[in-house]
Chains A and B, each alone.
Chain A
Amino acid sequence: MTQKQPRWRGGLLALGCEGSANKLGLGVIHHSPTGEVTILSNVRDTFVSPPGTGFLPKDTAKHHRVHFVPLALRALAEAGAAPSDLACICFTQGPGMGAPLTAVAVAARALALLWDLPLVGVNHCVGHIEMGRAITGAANPVVLYVSGGNSQVIAYAERRYRIFGETLDIAVGNCLDRFARTLEISNDPAPGYNIEQLAKKGGARLLDLPYTVKGMDCSFSGILASADVLAAQMKAARAKGEDTFTEADLCSSLQETVFAMLVEITERAMAHVGSNQVLIVGGVGCNERLQEMMGAMAKERGGSVYATDERFCIDNGIMIAHAGLLAYETGFQTPMEESQCTQRFRTDEVYIKWRD
């Protein structure tokens, strides 16, 4: 690799590797000695399955194996970094889908050994939270982490990201993604994105869907089942030539219902901890309607909502590099023998040594 003038002076660099779902992301980050964070590269490739289908572990793992080397080369080239510039290799240890996680872990281990660098296993959720904090500068917000795989309301207390509320069954993003399959909406670039666009055309009719908040938690599998029933009714009515509601009405109603539930449990957590700031992270956090509804609630409480753009709210490698490097700087490393991935990895299992 050619020796370019480095865009950094002092501090540490890390490579982050993410592959817990269908996005393979790699990124190189720089932490200056004074704690300034610079993103040197952030590259990603998404495995998209055909409309009406979801992504299966085996195919997703294969996608990650095929794209790892080209993406890694791109990440280094765009950062202008060589392996000798790096302090550590960070990878998502969990939570997520087993085969895809392991595919990326295998590559990360090989790099750590070839380049003689320490390995740092990162909790995917903590990656999202730390990146959200770094990008938005939010001091100590309540965090709503919503994606295809996770739905949690989190607040920081005494060196842990504590879960105040969560889904009792499926993630809100999973509910949306599976409903997209019911309607056979395209998964490109993401099913949730296409539901959002379709929802913008609806809203004339608010359809009746169950609202399932249970204390600090909520559940989404029942809403999904109800939405599927309504979709079947729509198709049947259409087949008979009757006037009926549309896909746009369904998408809009589904969003309004699930997002209102998320706003409610987030507000409950905010009341508990006495905060008026909300940070939304995770793929579903890209949704502008969710940001709007959350913003209205936060404003009523005299606060504000923070969100990042698709570079960071969608799964990416740079958040893993960032959270990993934060841990590494406190002396944390993952021994090779303990670098197995795990599908279940609670957010509060991580000791957040780098915060007070």
Chain B
Amino acid sequence: MTAETQNPSQEDTEFPCSIDIEIPFHTERLADVAHRTLSVDKELSSLVRRSFSLRNQPQEGSHAAATVLHVRYKATTNRMLRVAVNAFMESLYLVIEVMEHLDVDPGKKQAAKQA
């Protein structure tokens, strides 16, 4: 959810190699957890720019929840882009694995308390 500070055409010249990645999650909560976890660490290289945003599923209407984590990577060369995106994917995979095996569903917790 970072705003671009340079005008698009100037940025595109400096960082010509880019990729957009969309990661759908089951719930808004999970997308938010992924976003907050992964946006903490800055990009190691000044030759790479990254921005996140949370978006709705494209086919849903205006009341849809923000369940899609959108990431845009821009870099000066394709090699830098590949290195940065690969590293991101490894961290993302870890976050998803943690969600899959270690998440405690708040809904289940409530039901257990009432039982």
Q: Indicate if the CB atoms of A114 and B109 lie closer than 8 Å.
A: no
Q: C-beta contact mask, B90-105 vs A, less than 8 Å → 1, else 0?
A: 1101110111011110
Contacts of A138 in B (CB 8 A): none
Kindly provide the distance from the CB of B103 to the nearest chain A CB, expressed in whole angstroms. 5
Q: Indicate if the CB atoms of B94 and A103 lie closer than 8 Å.
A: yes
Q: C-beta contact mask, A46-89 vs B, less than 8 Å → 1, else 0?
A: 00000000000000011001001100110000000011100000
Q: Indicate if the CB atoms of A110 and B40 lie closer than 8 Å.
A: no
Contacts of A110 in B (CB 8 A): 33-34, 37, 94-95, 98-99
Q: Indicate if the CB atoms of B101 and A69 lie closer than 8 Å.
A: yes
Within 8 Å by CB of A114, from B38, B42, B102, lies B102
Contacts of A339 in B (CB 8 A): 40
| A198: Cβ under 8 A from any B Cβ | no
> Chain B: residues with CB nearer than 8 A to chain A?
32-34, 36-38, 40-42, 90-91, 93-95, 97-99, 101-104, 109
Within 8 Å by CB of B94, from A82, A83, A107, A115, lies A107
Using CB atoms, name the residue of chain A closest to B91. Answer: A106
Q: Indicate if the CB atoms of A83 and B40 lie closer than 8 Å.
A: no
Within 8 Å by CB of B98, from A61, A68, A336, lies A68
Kindly provide the distance from the CB of B41 to the nearest chain A CB, expressed in whole angstroms. 6
Q: Indicate if the CB atoms of B33 and A113 lie closer than 8 Å.
A: yes
Contacts of B103 in A (CB 8 A): 114
Within 8 Å by CB of B104, from A62, A69, A103, A114, lies A114
| A109: Cβ under 8 A from any B Cβ | yes
Q: Indicate if the CB atoms of A65 and B99 lie closer than 8 Å.
A: no
Kindly provide the distance from the CB of B89 to the nearest chain A CB, expressed in whole angstroms. 11
A72 to B100, CA, bound (A): 13
Contacts of A65 in B (CB 8 A): 90-91, 93-94
A181 to B35, CA, bound (A): 41
Q: Which 6 A-B pairs have the closest CB atoms?
A: A113-B33, A109-B37, A110-B98, A65-B94, A110-B37, A114-B103
Assuming A65-B90, A84-B109, A114-B33, is B40 touching A336 (CB within 8 A)? yes
Within 8 Å by CB of A340, from B38, B40, B91, lies B40
Kindly provide the distance from the CB of A81 to the nearest chain B CB, expressed in whole angstroms. 12
> Chain A: residues with CB nearer than 8 A to chain B?
61-62, 65, 68-69, 72-73, 82-84, 102-103, 105-107, 109-111, 113-115, 336-337, 339-340
Using CB atoms, name the residue of chain A closest to B34. Answer: A110
Contacts of A111 in B (CB 8 A): 98, 102
Within 8 Å by CB of B102, from A69, A103, A106, lies A69
Assuming A65-B94, A68-B94, A111-B98, is B42 touching A106 (CB within 8 A)? no
Contacts of A84 in B (CB 8 A): 104, 109
Using CB atoms, name the residue of chain A closest to B44. Answer: A98
Contacts of A72 in B (CB 8 A): 98, 102
Contacts of B36 in A (CB 8 A): 109, 113, 336
Contacts of A109 in B (CB 8 A): 36-37, 40
Q: Indicate if the CB atoms of A62 and B90 lie closer than 8 Å.
A: yes
Using CB atoms, name the residue of chain A closest to B90. Answer: A65
Q: Indicate if the CB atoms of A106 and B101 lie closer than 8 Å.
A: no
Kindly provide the distance from the CB of A328 to the nearest chain B CB, expressed in whole angstroms. 19
A222 to B103, CA, bound (A): 50
Contacts of B94 in A (CB 8 A): 65, 68, 103, 106-107, 110
Q: Indicate if the CB atoms of B41 and A340 lie closer than 8 Å.
A: yes
Extra contacts besides A84-B104, A106-B95 (13): CB < 8 Å: A61-B90, A65-B90, A68-B94, A68-B97, A68-B98, A82-B104, A110-B33, A110-B99, A113-B37, A114-B98, A114-B103, A115-B104, A336-B36
Using CB atoms, name the residue of chain B closest to A83. Answer: B104
A73 to B101, CA, bound (A): 8
A62 to B102, CA, bound (A): 19
Q: List 24 A-B contacts (CB under 8 A).
A: A61-B90, A65-B93, A68-B97, A69-B98, A69-B101, A69-B102, A82-B104, A83-B102, A83-B104, A84-B104, A102-B41, A103-B94, A106-B91, A107-B94, A110-B33, A110-B34, A110-B95, A110-B98, A110-B99, A113-B36, A113-B37, A114-B33, A114-B103, A340-B42
Q: Indicate if the CB atoms of A73 and B41 lie closer than 8 Å.
A: no
